[in-house]
Amino acid sequence: MILAVGNVKGGVGKTTLAVNLAIIRAQSGKDVLLVDGDEQGTALTFTELRTERMGKPGYTAVSLHGAALRTQVRQLAPKYDDIIIDVGGRDTGSLRAALVVADTLLIPVQPRSFDVWAVDQMAALVQEAREINAALSAVAVLNAADAQGKDNEDAAEALKDIEGIKLLSTTIGRRKAFPNAAAAGRAITEHTPKDTKALEELRKVMGLLYR
């Protein structure tokens, strides 16, 4: 499957999710290609850190942008079990290219008004991409969700009303395990002490994505 993890809104945790998904899929025996389609290059920087710390990342990582992302992902797709594209932060040619080649788009959304509003723009991009890629599935996940309070519920209700985007039934909480693991070049499956709640939430998301 080709999975794009993207949003026009920055700071929503897309790179963190992308690298964790890539590592966990690789740990399950899949041959994984991680495509850094974000001009900031954070996924590639993480991969370099991971290689320094662990000897090898366990997956293949490349940086592709714009039209090259579209053409090369299509060419590389038969060689890999999974391709995960980290893309976005704003409306770019790379994001639009990823939507044309992806099977599924995962949109991380924090339970904040600006984040929720950005999904309307994503829905418009998805609708446009479906004119070329009719089978594109688009799902949103509440990421870095609050431990308590009404913000999660309010955000979920707003997201349910956005046409063309499906809200996943599970959320990922705001947990220190993610940044702590990333700082060491690791996924949360490799970080100690284990955060069992973070692992459970991420695995539930993966179970909904990779059926």
Determine the Cα–Cα distance for residues 198 and 179; give it in Å rounded to an integer.
12
The strand pairing partners of 167, in sequence order, are 140
Q: What is the pLDDT of residues 120-146, one digit of tens each?
A: 999 999 999 999 999 999 999 999 898
Tell me the pLDDT of the chain averaged across its residues.
Answer: 95
Q: pLDDT (tens digit, 9 = 90+) per residue, 41-74?
A: 999 999 999 999 999 999 999 999 999 999 999 9
For 71-139, the DSSP string reads HHHHHHGGG-SEEEEEEESS--HHHHHHHHH-SEEEEEE-SSHHHHHHHHHHHHHHHHHTTT-TT-EEE
Q: Is the pLDDT of residue 102 over 80?
A: yes
User: Per-residue pLDDT for 148 more than 90?
Assistant: no
**According to the model, what pLDDT value does residue 202 have?**
95
- As given in the structure block, the two tokens for residue 119 are 């999904």
- Mean pLDDT computed over 178-204: 95
- Which pLDDT band holds residue 112 (cuts at 50, 70, 90)? confident
Region 26-39: what's the mean pLDDT? 96
